[in-house]
Amino acid sequence: MWSCLGLTSLLIAQSTQSPIDKPVESLRFSEDGIFHISILEDLHFGENAWDSWGPEQDVNTVTVINRVLDKESPNLVVLNGDLITGENAFLENSTVYLDQMAGPLVDRGLAWASTYGNHNSSFNLSRSDLLAREKRFANSRTEAMVSDHQAGVTNYYLPVYGSGAHHRERNDMPELLLWFFDSRGGVYYQKRDASGNEIPQPNWVDVSVVEWFQATNADLVQKHGKHIPSLVFVHIPINAALAVQTQHEVDSHKEPGINDDYPLAQQGQNWCASGEYGGSCSYAGQDELLMKALAQTHGVIGVFSGHDHGDTWCYKWDKAISGIRPVNEKGINLCFGSAYGLRGVRDLDSGFSTGAGDAIEAEGW
C-alpha cells in the first residue's frame, strides 16, 4: 500500500470519468466503480536553491513524479503539504516552484488538490500567494472556503460523484467527500515582533475550520439524507496518530510501512496551553476539537497526513484516545506518506503498489 517515495495510492471502490481530461468537470468514479487518488507528500521544492544539490533535487523529484504518474494514472493527485521549503525562498520568486511541480500534472491533464504545510508559511512565502499561483492552472482544485483570518488557507471539500449513468440516477448525490484542512504552522508572512523576530503561527487546525466542517457536513447530510463516506487530508497529523504510535505500538507486519520518526510530531507541538510558543512546552490538547469532530462524524474512514518524513504506516484508530472514540465501529484509518521530495530517485526502485482500497473500503459502496 505504501511507497518509499512518499506516494500513497488509493483505489476507492464504488458499489453498484473516464480519466480526468477536462479539469472543469466534476470529479467522478470511473465506469468500473473506481476513483484513484495518488497522494504526494512533502515535496519541498526550492530547498537550498543557492547550492547545486537543491536544484538537482528538484529535477530528480520531477523525474520521480513523472515516472510514478505514468504507472499510476490517477483520477486526482493530492499534494499534502510542504510543497515548497519557504524559509529558503526569496520574496521575489517564492511561488514560482509551483510551476515546476505542476508540470507533470498539467502535461497529463490531471486534476490536483493541495493542503499547505508548515514550510509553506514563511517570512518570504505567503499561503495566499501560493494559492493564487495554483489558481493560474485550470487543473488545480485547491480552494479556500473558510474566511476567518486565523483559519489558514486550504480549508475546503471536494465531492466525488458516481460514474455518468449512476450519477444521474442518484440525482447529483456525491458518492465520496474529500475534506482538506489547513494545519498552519511556520511563521507569519512578512511580520516581525517588536524585537524583530519572526512570529510563529499556530500549528493546528483552527476552531473556525472545525465549526465550518461540522456545519457543512451537517448540511450535506440533511440535503442528501445520508452520511457520505469521507476522506480527510491534513499535513500535520492529529494527536491520535501519536497515541496509536506510542501506546499501541505500530506493528510493521499489520501496518506496513516505515516508523522511523518516533515519536512523531503532532499538531500543537511546542505550543503552551497559554498560547505561548516555546520548545519546552508539551502538547496541550489544541487539536482535541478537531479529533472530536472527526470521531463524531459518521462516514469519516481515513485521515492522511505527512510532515513526519520517516513514517509511512497506516493504523486504525478504533479505541478511545483522550476519551474520544470514533462513532464508526470500524474506526478511522490514520495514514502517512513519507517525504517525496527529500527521498527522490534513490528509492524509486523500491517499488510501490496500489491497493489501499482494501484498507478504507466502506460497507455499502
**How confident is the model over 53-109, as pLDDT tens digits?**
999 999 999 999 999 999 988 999 999 999 999 999 999 999 999 999 999 999 999
d(CA 175, CA 227): 10
Is residue 55, in this structure, part of any structural domain at all?
Answer: yes
Q: Determine if the peptide bond prior to 23 is cis (ω within 30°).
A: no
Whole-number Cα distances in Å, 161 to 20, 26, 67, 179, 194? 13, 7, 28, 15, 51
d(CA 197, CA 57): 30
Beta bridge partners of 161: 28
- pLDDT single digits (tens) 24-52: 589 999 988 999 999 999 999 999 999 99
- Return the CATH number at 201: 3.60.21
Q: Is 147 among the domain residues?
A: yes
Domain assignment of residue 136, yes or no: yes
Q: How far is CA 238 from CA 55, 57, 254, 294, in A?
A: 32, 29, 21, 10
Report d(CA 335, CA 220) in Å as an integer.
25
Angle of CA points 3, 16, 365, to nearest 5°: 50
Give the C-alpha distances (Å, rounded to integers) separating 308 from 35, 235, 241, 261, 312.
27, 9, 11, 6, 9
Report the percent of the chain where pLDDT is more than 90: 74
| Averaged pLDDT for residues 167-174 | 68
Instruction: Give SS3 for 58.
Output: helix
Helix (H, G, I), strand (E, B) or coil at 30: coil
Does residue 365 lie within any of the structural domains?
Answer: no
Burial class of residue 32, CB neighbours in 10 A (0-12, 13-18, 19+): exposed
104-118, 149-163, 315-329, 346-360 — which is least confidently predicted?
346-360
pLDDT band at 248 (very low <50, low <70, confident <90, very high): confident
Please check whether residue 89 lies inside any domain of the structure. yes
Q: How many domains does the chain have?
A: 1
HSE-up (13 A, CA, CB side) for residue 286? 27
Domain carrying residue 318: 7-360
C-alpha cell at 95: 511561488
Tell me the angle at which helices 97-107 and 127-134 cross, rounded to the nearest 10 degrees.
30
Beta strands in the chain (DSSP E): 7-13, 27-28, 34-40, 76-80, 111-115, 156-161, 176-181, 187-192, 198-200, 230-234, 300-305, 314-317, 332-336
108 by DSSP, 3-state: which?
Answer: coil
Q: pTM here? A: 0.88
> What is the distance between the alpha carbons of residues 359 and 8, in angstroms, rounded to a whole number?
12
Residue 1 lies in a domain: no
Position 154, amino acid = T
Q: Is 2 contained in some domain?
A: no
Residue 31 lies in a domain: yes
> 216 in helix, strand or coil?
helix
pLDDT on residue 249? 77
